[in-house]
Amino acid sequence: MCGIIGCAGRDGETLDVLVHGLSKLEYRGYDSAGVALSADALDVCKTAGEISELRAALEERELSGTVGIGHTRWSTHGPPTDENAHPHLDCNREVAVVHNGIIENYQTLRDELSTAGHEFRSDTDTEVVPHLVEDELRDGHAPEDAVRRAISRLEGSYAIAAVVAGSDSIFAARNDSPLVLGISDDAYYLASDVPAFRDHTDRVVYLDDGEFAVLNGDGYTVTTLDGEGVEKPVETVDWDPEETGKSGYDHFMLKEIHEQPRALRQCLRGRVDELGGEVDLGDLGDLSPRGVQFVAAGTSYHASLYAAQLFRQAGIPAQAFLGSEYATSVPPIGDALVVGVTQSGETADTLSALREARRRGARTLAVTNTVGSTAARECDHALYIRAGPEFGVAATKTFSSQIAALNLLALAVTSVGDAREVISALRDLPGAVQEILDDSTAADIAETYRDADSYFFIGRGLNYPVALEGALKMKEISYRHAEGFAAGELKHGSLALVTENTPVFAVVTGSDEMATKTVGNVKEVEARDAPVVAVTDGASDVERYADHVLEVPDTHPRVAAVVANVQLQLTAYHTADLLGRSIDKPRNLAKSVTVE
């Protein structure tokens, strides 16, 4: 969601580093931006709108300071206005604070501070923090101690960075919201995500909940909030900063759709033995689950629905739960393995579900794309999908890589009679996806149905989660109404919405009973004059009843869903592009949802 950047040690380059870092965080979703530089006094500039608006405002200002912080805000408390943009200041303009998360007791604190004479300029929960620091400074506490004491009064989730006039340090703390330090030979950085400073260093320190960091031009320290020293490992980021660019594509989303063959190869590399029919997932140990509960949100939930079917097919009870529901209404766990599927490893709803599962004694596994993420650190085990950085808000290559990784997990811990065939299909999957990318006619389909009233997506079995994902992609980036259904459920009410201006995308692969039944559902749609787009390998003969066909290569049923999904990604992308939508940063959405 919101983005944080901080820099110490770059002197006259600090402002450029901050603005560049914010531009690298645009993918997270935001509606305002701002920076604060600190020296003997504070210089602050913030605006509603995109970073281009901030750049324009900075051209009319001359900011100076030796350390600084910056922020991109995704609105929670109060609309996107200049006043609500971060950084927020105290009454004396001596303290500047940026914050990700939600301060749950902010209203109590705000009432207390207002009664004491503090004046508030914004609608945000964040603004209580600089005023709390102001009070601590007035009571004679040094800046570092004042920030610590202020933060100790907060309840809720936060990643906070603060600067104080007259101090050459940045003070930062986290609780349930990510914060990472960047370490170079002559400068130090902090951010909500590594891309903000990856152009400057590949050495990072991930903060944990309850930790407090101080950065200046001479170095950094990490302690608990109470001041007890903490030894933190310095890790190395294994992806190149060039991966954060568009590489000539019009949008990050299109680039990432085309990166799927490479991402899948990275996911599979070193993990499959095709000749032996075996999967090696390294040090996960002997999981041997008697049951599996998946917890996830959004696209990751669709991948979890897919994975739960794989385990059930292998005779292991498995269910997929929305993290937000699981955390507040936990089903019986018993000795089930609880698997959190989260691209960022920071999704608040999924983390809450995993923590509740651990509190009840369950073993936990994180399936994530982000090394060092909260989910990876807090779970008993972590399986990385290795998709590389993803910047488009709409997940594409991470969904494909999640399905590949979850296939590997199922193969590693269950007995599958055709394991060799599945592994062979997984090894061929990057080539099959590339074939779609080379030959897809999705752009033509998008042109034909760009003005549709609504879009329906149907599928059965492993194709049902793909139908859900296809609808989600269309909603996310085209802003058009779209729904995904289990194909057999269409006639139980939703068929009333089908019209000649409601294209139905039917995902039909193979020629088994499920495919035959889905063809029957297609006939029901056809009989009501709705156009049908069949996403198919041709095995079921469904194209006889379709107005258009998006072809997919013939492959194993376990991986056919991945290939079909690419056609739906491309259809959503081209539809949104034709409609002139903000594809990488769709309205109201954020890449990493770090609040519940």
**Residues assigned a catalytic role:** 2, 591
- Any idea what DSSP says for residue 249? -
Q: Is the CB of residue 180 less than 8 Å from the CB of residue 207?
A: yes
Both structure tokens of 81: 């206005």
Both structure tokens of 79: 């609309």
- Determine how β-strand 482-486 pairs with β-strand 455-459: parallel
Q: How many Cα atoms within 13 Å fall on the side-chain side of residue 244?
A: 22
Q: Is the CB of residue 515 less than 8 Å from the CB of residue 539?
A: yes
User: How far is the first Cα of the chain from the last one, in angstroms, to the nearest whole number?
Assistant: 12
- Determine how β-strand 504-508 pairs with β-strand 532-536: parallel
SS3 160: strand
CA–CA dist 402, 405 (Å, integer): 5
Q: Is the CB of residue 187 less than 8 Å from the CB of residue 200?
A: yes
CA–CA dist 270, 279 (Å, integer): 9
Q: Where are the alpha helices (DSSP H) in 34-79?
A: 51-59
Residue carrying structure tokens 């402002």 = 15
CA–CA dist 110, 171 (Å, integer): 22
The length of the chain is 596
Both structure tokens of 339: 């698997």
